[in-house]
Amino acid sequence: MDATILGFLLLDALQNGVIYGLLAVAMVLVFAVTRVILVPIGELMMFAPLSLVWLQGGKLPGTLGLALALGALWALLERGRGRGLPLLGGVGLLLLFLLARGSPALAYPAAIFLVVYLGVASYRVFFQPLREATVLAYLIMAVGLHVAYQGLGLVFFGPEQYRPEPLLSGEVLAGLSWQGVLVLLFALLAVGGLYLFFRLSLFGKALLAAAENRLGARLCGIRPEEAGMVAFAIASLLAALAGLLLAPLINAAYFMGFMLGLKGFVAAILGGLLSYPVAFLGALLVGLFESFTSFYASAYKEALVFLLLVPALFFQSLRARAVEE
């Protein structure tokens, strides 16, 4: 191995690592607030670029129907004034999509809004009615949703991959495309933004409080349902943006999300599903590990990456107190 190869591998590791990092942070956030392990985050991530490709081709994606159907269920579950949000959101989404069919500039916000709406509606319809359930029950529901969304992805978008046009084409230097720079910049912005959100805004503080101690937060007038929705909205937003930026580099397809989500999950586990910085560092480690194993022993790459879980879980089991909230 020489310096050029090392440089390429490090850049590759960084680019993949930050994506896993964003997914890991989103998963930690959702887990902290709602105790849901967000397995379907990979599908949400893939729905964004695939819907975008459909819109740019002048077609309405099937995900729109899914989002509107879940939105309608959400409205049914709410009472009185609570119905305003899902109904307004649904109408807005439909309008945005109809407009975006004619103008490509609107396609990006439309795809992002779709995924966020879908994410929040999924929480309201599938997870909130289970409130106070065990982590296992949530996990089973999450895995079920992942399987369902992946299957629907195949129905909506077909079995093949799609490649949206990159926002910026060309290379900055050998091994790093402008699109790759965008991905890195976005990761930096997202992490910084989240930090500021949690430190400075009242909403962010309320979320942190709800994650720290739900009963206490409730006594202070923070509604855990609302906190859950906000957590899901942030996670879906991160997933949608990451998916849109990443798709031109990796080709989006309905089956691509799960592995990304799983690697993000490995990173989140490395952080004990608790710590944002450790999860992000864990993600960079996963990226690094993956990049080098793909160079040295490509046939065993996946096995080696998931083997990382074993020491992490072992360490956690030594440290953890055997209590569940």
Task: Please give the residue ranges that form the binding site for another protein (CB under 8 A).
Answer: 5, 8-9, 12, 15-16, 19, 151, 154, 158-163, 171, 174-175, 177, 246, 249-251, 253, 255-256, 258-260, 290-296, 298-299, 301-302
Is 306 or 315 the residue whose CB approaches another protein more closely?
A: 306
Contact 88, 74 (CB under 8 A): no
**CA-to-CA distance for 233 and 231, rounded, in angstroms?**
5
> Shortest gap between Cβ of 256 and another protein (angstroms)?
6
Is 12 or 207 the residue whose CB approaches another protein more closely?
A: 12
Residue listed under structure tokens 């997933």: 239
> Shortest gap between Cβ of 5 and another protein (angstroms)?
5
Residue listed under structure tokens 């864990």: 282
**CA-to-CA distance for 44 and 240, rounded, in angstroms?**
7
Residue 77 CB-density burial (10 A; 0-12 exposed, 13-18 middle, 19+ buried): middle
Q: How many CA atoms lie within 13 A of 281 on its CB side?
A: 8
Q: The tokens of 76 are what?
A: 């049914």
> Shortest gap between Cβ of 159 and another protein (angstroms)?
4
> Shortest gap between Cβ of 2 and another protein (angstroms)?
8
Helix (H) or strand (E) segment spanning residue 304: helix 301-307
Which residue type, as a one-letter code, is found at position 170?
A: G
Is 120 or 253 the residue whose CB approaches another protein more closely?
A: 253
> Shortest gap between Cβ of 124 and another protein (angstroms)?
29
Is 90 or 153 the residue whose CB approaches another protein more closely?
A: 153
Q: The tokens of 181 are what?
A: 């720079």
Is 177 or 236 the residue whose CB approaches another protein more closely?
A: 177
Dump the DSSP string for 185-245: HHHHHHHHHHHHHHHH-HHHHHHHHHHH-HHHHHHTT--HHHHHHHHHHHHHHHHHHHHHH
309's torsion region: left (phi>0), alpha (psi -120 to 50) or beta?
A: alpha
> Shortest gap between Cβ of 207 and another protein (angstroms)?
29
Instruction: List, in order, residues 6 or more apart from 186 with CB less than 8 Å away.
Output: 241, 242, 245
> Shortest gap between Cβ of 14 and another protein (angstroms)?
11
Is 249 or 309 the residue whose CB approaches another protein more closely?
A: 249
Is 163 or 218 the residue whose CB approaches another protein more closely?
A: 163
Contact 42, 250 (CB under 8 A): no
> Shortest gap between Cβ of 300 and another protein (angstroms)?
9
Is 175 or 204 the residue whose CB approaches another protein more closely?
A: 175
Contact 247, 261 (CB under 8 A): no
Is 296 or 314 the residue whose CB approaches another protein more closely?
A: 296
> Shortest gap between Cβ of 259 and another protein (angstroms)?
4
Report the DSSP beta bridge partners of residue 176: 173
Which residue type, as a one-letter code, is found at position 102?
A: G
